[in-house]
Amino acid sequence: MSFSVALAGKGGTGKTTVAGLLIKYMVMKGKIPVLAVDADSNANLNEVLGLEVSDTLGNAREEMKKGQVPNGMTKDVFISMKLEQAVAEADGYDLIVMGQPEGAGCYCAANSLLTGFLERLTGNYPYIIMDNEAGMEHISRLTTSNVDVLLIVTDTSRRGIQAAARIHKLAGDLSIGVGRSCLIVNQVKDRLSETALNIINDAGLEFLGTIPENETVYEYDLNGQPTIEMPADNEAVQAAYEIFEKIVN
C-alpha cells in the first residue's frame, strides 16, 4: 500500500515549493521511488524540480475525446502509451502532469480509462506526492481521496489561514478518506500572531510548524532555478525538513 501525501492551499502560499522540498526530502531519506503528481491546472511542479515535461494526461484525454486515436490502435493501448510518454523520470522519483481542465463535451470514457491506468501506475510506487489545484476544487470533486496526509499550506494572511480551515472542514465533511489533515504556515517573517493561532486552533487543524520567509527561495524562483537545488543548510529548507519528519516515518 502506497504512502500518499496530497498538498492543498490557497494560491500564492508556496504550496508547490513545499511539494518540491518534500519530494527532495523523501529521496534524501531513501523513501523511493516516489511518484510526484502535478494535479494543478497551472502546472509548474516540474519547474520546481528542474524537469522537462513533454506531455500531459490532459492532452491524452483531449486527443481521445476528439477521436485522434491512430488507426489500428485500441483506446486502451493509446491511453497506456500516452501515460508512459507523460512520465518524466528523475533520480529517485518520477513526475506525471495531469494538465489543463477538460473542455466542453463528455469526457466520461476518457476519464474512466485514464483512472484505471492511473490506479495501476500508482500501484508501482510506495510513495506518492500530489500537488493539487489551489483552493478546494480538487476536494469538492473528490479527486483527492484516500490519502494518508492532507498537507495544507498557507501563508500568514487571514484569508490564507481561513482558506486552510475551510479545506480541512470540507475534507472532513466529504469523508474522502484522509488519514491526517495537517497545516504548515509558510513565508513567516517573525512569528504567528495570537489571532492566527486562534483560527488554527478553532479549526481543529493539526499544526505542524512554520517555514520562514527566505530571500534565497525568492531568488531561485525569480531566476528560474529549481528550488529543490537550494542548499540543505538554508533555513527554510531546514525548517521544512523538521516538519516533514513529523509526517514521514
Whether residue 121 has pLDDT greater than 80: no
Q: What total of structural domains would you count in the chain?
A: 1
How far apart are the C-alpha atoms of 30 and 242, rounded to whole Å? 16
- What is the pLDDT, as a whole number, of residue 141? 59
Among the ranges given (64-68, 72-76, 124-128, 234-238), the one the predictor scored with the smallest mean pLDDT: 64-68
Q: What is the pLDDT of residues 20-33, one digit of tens each?
A: 999 999 999 999 99
Question: Is residue 249 a part of any domain in this protein?
Answer: no
In this structure, the chain runs to a length of 249
Residue 211 has pLDDT above 80, yes or no: yes
Q: Which of 69-78, 129-138, 220-229, 239-248 has the lowest mean pLDDT?
A: 129-138
Asked if residue 127 is part of any domain, the answer here is yes
Q: Is the pLDDT of residue 118 over 70?
A: no
- Once rounded to an integer, what is the mean pLDDT over residues 150-168? 93
CATH number at residue 80: 3.40.50.300
- Residue 38 resides in a domain: yes
- Residue 151 lies inside a defined structural domain of this protein: yes
How far apart, in whole angstroms, are the C-alpha atoms of residue 237 and residue 220? 13
Give the pLDDT band (50/70/90) at residue 182. very high
Q: What residues are paired with 6 via a beta bridge?
A: 130, 150
Query: What was the pLDDT predicted at 238?
Result: 97
* pLDDT exceeds 90 at position 58: no
Give the strand order in the sheet containing 206-212: 87-89, 93-97, 34-39, 127-132, 3-8, 147-154, 178-188, 206-212
- Residue 225 inside a domain? The answer is yes
Lowest mean pLDDT among 35-44, 137-146, 187-196: 137-146
Q: Is residue 75 part of a domain?
A: yes
Q: Which domain holds residue 106?
A: 3-244
pTM: 0.89
pLDDT at 91: 95
